[in-house]
């Protein structure tokens, strides 16, 4: 990369909340632009350039046009970063993946459903192109974004935490959501968020995706202790894992 790498942001199917988190860095953005040159960022500037080295991509892939556009971005970029849950593993968009597509489109668009040209499934960008780094979350954590950018500039490959949110709950001395009679996905969700949701009095919704090796037996034990069924509860709260869980099941069957 150049000494001051050129950076571009792209949005696919998503709410653009992750890019908004970058804008919300506010005065720290001035520090950021001293080390990178932002050449395309629709949320923050009108200029656009196809000459970039690092591409941050938000949103999931839902159309054939998305696939073509994504391939073009990958061809231009030296580094592609999946920004947020939708880009990383399908996110909320993938909640429709296990539903009948025709029924879903009619429910949302009514008489205009026939005009919708979309794939039956919402997919992460890595299902189409190679991804070099991932920043999960809904929305992303601003500090984690800064850490990833800093690492990329220094030539250090960013790594994600691979411990469950429960670890961070203990470090923060949070009251366990299960003890508040809440249903929580913290035991199998990737940490790195500081367990903010549980700390604020709610529970973990799984927005950072599943840890690579979730302790599913331990999760089952916790649920059974509170009179709950693991599969039933995970299905009930499959807000983010519509792509990730079936993919993991397929991989496990192949092994």
41 vs 16, 34, 36, 110, CA distance in Å?
Answer: 11, 16, 13, 33
Q: With respect to residue 127, please indicate whether it lies within any of the assigned structural domains.
A: yes
What is the helix (H) or strand (E) element at residue 133, kind and residue range? strand 133-135
Q: With respect to residue 61, please indicate whether it lies within any of the assigned structural domains.
A: yes
* Residues 85-137: tens digit of each pLDDT: 999 999 999 999 989 999 999 998 999 988 988 999 999 999 999 999 999 99
Which stretches does DSSP call E strand in 23-117? Answer: 37-40, 54-58, 79-83
**76: nearest Cα among 8, 11, 14:** 8
Q: 154, 189, 208: which is the final residue of a domain?
A: 154
**218 vs 159, residue with greater confidence:** 159
Mean pLDDT to the nearest integer, 214-230: 70
Q: 128, 154, 180: which is the final residue of a domain?
A: 154
What mean pLDDT, rounded, does the chain reach? 89
Q: With respect to residue 16, please indicate whether it lies within any of the assigned structural domains.
A: yes
Q: Give the pLDDT band of residue 236 (cuts 50, 70, 90).
A: low
Mean pLDDT to the nearest integer, 13-17: 93
Range with top average pLDDT, 2-6, 156-160, 165-169: 165-169
Say if residue 82 is in the same domain as residue 118.
Answer: yes
Say if residue 131 is in the same domain as residue 179.
Answer: no
Domain of 98, in residue numbers = 6-154
Q: With respect to residue 160, please indicate whether it lies within any of the assigned structural domains.
A: no
Q: Give the pLDDT band of residue 225 (cuts 50, 70, 90).
A: confident
* Residues 211-220: tens digit of each pLDDT: 887 665 666 6
What are 97's two structure tokens?
Answer: 């993946």
Say if residue 14 is in the same domain as residue 46.
Answer: yes
Q: Are 121 and 243 in contact (CB under 8 A)?
A: yes
On whether the pTM is more than 0.85, the answer is yes
Q: Are 99 and 242 in contact (CB under 8 A)?
A: no
| Number of structural domains found in the chain | 2
* Residues 22-53: tens digit of each pLDDT: 999 988 888 888 899 999 999 888 889 999 99
**42: nearest Cα among 11, 74, 2:** 11
**pLDDT for the residue numbered 190:** 92
State yes or no: pLDDT of 228 exceeds 80.
Answer: no
Task: DSSP for 161-190, please give it.
Answer: --SBHHHHHHHTTPPPGGGGT----GGGBB
Say if residue 125 is in the same domain as residue 57.
Answer: yes
State yes or no: pLDDT of 229 exceeds 90.
Answer: no
């Amino acid at each position: 990369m150049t000494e001051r790498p050129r950076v571009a942001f792209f949005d696919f199917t998503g709410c653009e909340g992750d890019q908004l988190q970058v804008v919300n860095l506010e005065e720290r953005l001035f520090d950021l632009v001293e080390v990178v040159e932002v050449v395309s960022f629709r949320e923050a500037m009108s200029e656009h350039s196809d000459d970039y080295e690092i591409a941050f991509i938000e949103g999931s892939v839902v159309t054939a046009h998305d696939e073509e556009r994504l391939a073009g971005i990958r061809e231009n970029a030296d580094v592609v970063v999946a920004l947020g849950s939708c880009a990383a593993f399908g996110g909320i968009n993938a909640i429709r993946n296990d539903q009948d597509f025709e029924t879903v489109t009619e429910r949302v668009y009514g008489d205009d459903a026939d005009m919708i040209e979309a794939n039956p499934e919402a997919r992460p960008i890595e299902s189409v192109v190679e991804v070099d780094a991932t920043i999960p979350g809904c929305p992303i954590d601003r500090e984690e974004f800064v850490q990833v950018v800093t690492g990329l500039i220094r030539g250090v490959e960013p790594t994600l935490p691979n411990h469950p949110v429960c670890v961070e709950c203990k470090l923060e001395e949070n009251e366990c959501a299960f003890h508040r009679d809440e249903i929580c996905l913290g035991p199998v969700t990737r940490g790195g968020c500081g367990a903010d949701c549980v700390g604020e009095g709610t529970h973990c919704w799984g927005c950072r995706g599943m840890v690579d090796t979730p302790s599913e037996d331990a999760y089952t034990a916790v649920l059974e202790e509170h009179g709950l069924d693991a599969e039933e509860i995970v299905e009930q709260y499959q807000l983010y894992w519509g792509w990730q869980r079936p993919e993991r099941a397929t991989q496990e069957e192949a092994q």
